[in-house]
Chain A
Amino acid sequence: MPRRDLPGILWLPAAVAVLLLALPLVALITRVPWTRAGALLAAPESLSALLLSLGTALAATAAALVLGVPLAAVLASSDRWPTPARRLLRAAVTVPLVLPPVVGGIALLLLLGRQGLVGAPLQSLTGITVPFTTPAVVLAQTFVSMPFLVLAVEGALRGADPRYGIVAASLGASRWHAFRRVTLPLVAPGLVSGAVLCFTRALGEFGATITFAGSLPGVTRTLPVAAYLGLQTSPDSAIVLALLLLAVSVVVLVSLRDRWLRVGA
């Protein structure tokens, strides 16, 4: 397609925008104490934050898969519902997506805290308190990251040809058999990218975690929390932890580039 050149006036703000996005990362990378990076990462505090983050982010991703895939399937087939019910359901999925994570953390605290809607009876009946525990970290991460998975899987389900399901049914497959053996494999790419996106989001979760789960070393102090707190006490290890999070993001970006970033290709 022949096309006209861009008006020159756009170039300057575009260049500023690129610098705004890229320069901070350049600054981070130039400040990394490369020679001591290994030792800083291997320090007990860093290592425990890293392991805690990996474990909780994996658990949150697993929870999001187990709960979010069925939710995505319900959403994808909700077109014939009455409009208010459909909108309510969609809002329940999309609001956490745009909500500041701190607000999510406060809301979780008001639900599950000692005085909370569910937390108070839970404690008086079972003695269990959720906030400021490792499960609270997983809950906070799931709250924040599951919508990404739900929307990715819903999009994939809507894009799949419904006749595959009809064919499976006409071959005698029950609804569950057809969903498991045909529908899910058909949307596997969407499932994988949704899960990866969800995992990254959970790994980087900060606001809801620190609000709802706090920052107890080894229990709730995840990588982002450790990096933030480390800035005051040992900036070098904070920088190394930040670099680690950046590296994970880049790896995810590269692994998903074919699915998410080829908008213009």
Chain B
Amino acid sequence: MSGLDARLAVERGGFRLELELVVPPGAVVALLGPNGAGKSTGLGALAGAVPLASGRVVLDGRVLDDVAVGVSVDIARRSVGWMFQDALLFPHLSVAENVAFGLRAGGARRADALRTAGEWLGRLGIGELAGARPREVSGGQAQRVALARALAPQPHLLLLDEPLAALDAEVREEVRSGLRDGLRRHPGCTILVTHDPVDAEVLADEVVVVEGGRAVQRGTPDALRAAPATPYVSAMFPG
């Protein structure tokens, strides 16, 4: 395990994103930035859903993308989990079957996959939801199920795209701490896209501030607070 080493450029209709990310195994890096800064585009590129204009992505020693030699590993074979703002639980499957989905896709037997799924739900404190249908669980619960589903296949890289943004303020705090517990059990690297500095403070080891398709500053929240490089950074981390 050597973590993520990515330097990539993406071009989309006149917009250009250039990003360099080095994430050690087990670490959480937050991409913080205003809307339209290119954060989600970067996640899409790391997931293999958005083609790179140039660059190279290496995850735990495995080359996922290398534009110079024409390498691009399919999204399903990258071992990159992806969680969105909406839980997007498969509505026709039970909660446990949702969590078991990635294990089943990886070839696990149904009974084994369901048992492992139950263990993940238990670890995240939502074991009692195993038999429920997605429409029966609350928004906060659904997002924790989505986290269990993303973690169960033990991806080398976990991408979280504004995972708390769609939640009501009352449950956001609770899901945030559930997310922190879950990430502690995740041996791979994590990249968290957010525009909420609290998410970055609570969840991330390092913050990369992205503005206009560029990383304008990186460091711990304390370091950013001490020496903000742009007005946006100082507004996010007031001293």
Interface contact B92-A172, CB-CB below 8 Å: no
Interface contact B76-A169, CB-CB below 8 Å: yes
How far is the CB of B97 from the nearest CB of chain A, in Å?
Answer: 10
Q: What are the 9 A-B residue pairs with the smallest beta carbon separation, nearest first? A: A171-B102, A170-B82, A173-B105, A185-B92, A172-B105, A169-B75, A169-B76, A172-B106, A167-B88
How large, as a class, is the contact surface on chain B? 20 to 34
Give a binary string over B164-181; 1 marks a CB under 8 Å from any A CB, 0 the rest. 000000000000000000
A-B contact pairs, 29 of them (CB 8 A): A163-B84, A163-B88, A164-B88, A166-B47, A166-B75, A166-B82, A167-B84, A168-B101, A168-B105, A169-B49, A169-B75, A169-B76, A170-B47, A170-B76, A170-B80, A170-B155, A171-B101, A171-B153, A172-B76, A172-B102, A172-B106, A172-B153, A173-B105, A174-B76, A174-B105, A177-B105, A178-B76, A185-B92, A186-B90
Q: Is A41 an interface residue (CB 8 A)?
A: no
Q: Which residue of A lies closest to B77 (CB)?
A: A172
Q: Which A residues lie at the B interface, using CB under 8 A? A: 161, 163-164, 166-175, 177-178, 181-182, 185-186, 188
Interface contact B105-A171, CB-CB below 8 Å: yes
Bound-state CA distance A169–B153 (Å) is 12
Bound-state CA distance A101–B77 (Å) is 48
Interface contact B101-A185, CB-CB below 8 Å: no
Apart from A168-B101, A170-B80: 15 A-B pairs, beta carbons within 8 A: A161-B88, A163-B86, A167-B82, A171-B101, A171-B102, A172-B77, A173-B105, A174-B105, A175-B76, A177-B105, A178-B76, A185-B90, A185-B92, A186-B92, A188-B92
Bound-state CA distance A163–B159 (Å) is 14
Q: How many A-B residue pairs have CB under 8 A?
A: 61
B 80-110 contacts with A by CB, 8 A: 80-82, 84, 86, 88, 90-92, 101-102, 105-106
Bound-state CA distance A164–B149 (Å) is 13
Q: Which residue of A lies closest to B84 (CB)?
A: A163
Bound-state CA distance A167–B149 (Å) is 10
Interface contact A166-B49, CB-CB below 8 Å: yes
B 48-91 contacts with A by CB, 8 A: 49, 74-82, 84, 86, 88, 90-91
Bound-state CA distance A149–B49 (Å) is 30
Bound-state CA distance A155–B82 (Å) is 27
